[in-house]
Amino acid sequence: MSTSDNPPDFEPESRGAAAPEPTPDELMAAATARIAELEAALLEMKDRWMRAEAETQNVRTRMRRDVDDARQYAVQGFARDVAEAAENLKRGIDAMPAAGGSSSASGEAIERLREGFIGVERSFIGLLERNGIKREDPTGAIFDPNLHQAMAEQETVEHPPGTVIQAWSQAWTLNGRLLRPAMVVVAKAPAAALPESGAGPAQTIDTTA
């Protein structure tokens, strides 16, 4: 009989000892660590989502504001020209002669013409105000560099310094935004009286005490 027919005369090699089963405490520790890891990842994702949502809201707010500004102030150049036309109309009315003259008929005609122009101006200003264009008379107000442009100063004791005592033109705004500043004359305190000829120098009063 051939030796190749006999079974091999050796034991199979050992495949090694099986890994020990994890204990319940180890399983619990692993599960707890995994839960903590997932919770941390969830918090991070939630924080990122909240930041992205806040940024999206900010972008929407800015876009809405830009659209509103564009809608309200797109006609700013046109509104400025319209305000100039209204100022010219007022100047024309102010330049008209007072009622009277060589005959009562001509004086009455001038007065009717004046009243007609005043009515036109009143309707025109009302139309502008309904569209957000407003006129402000600064006379008597405190000088505001955001609304007024000082063209001259005038010494006076009748008004506090810094008061607008005369307006050459009115202040115009479009939905609260300045279109044209008012050209104004501002009150200032009178200068100290000059010393009489031959008199000694004026005394300076010390106000620091």
The predicted-structure confidence for 55-73, as pLDDT tens digits, reads as follows 888 888 888 887 877 777 7
Expressed as residue numbers, the domain containing 49 is 25-74
The answer as to whether 164 is a domain residue is: yes
pTM, two decimals, is 0.56
15: in domain:
no
Same domain, 137 and 169: yes
Q: Would you say residue 14 lies in a domain?
A: no
pLDDT tens readout for residues 137-175? 999 999 999 999 999 999 998 999 999 999 999 999 998
Q: Is residue 102 part of a domain?
A: yes
Torsion-angle region of residue 172: left (phi > 0), alpha (psi -120 to 50) or beta?
Answer: beta
Residue 202: pLDDT band by 50, 70, 90 thresholds? very low
Q: Are residues 33 and 118 in the same domain?
A: no
The count of domains in the chain is 2
**Is the predicted pLDDT of residue 10 greater than 70, yes or no?**
no
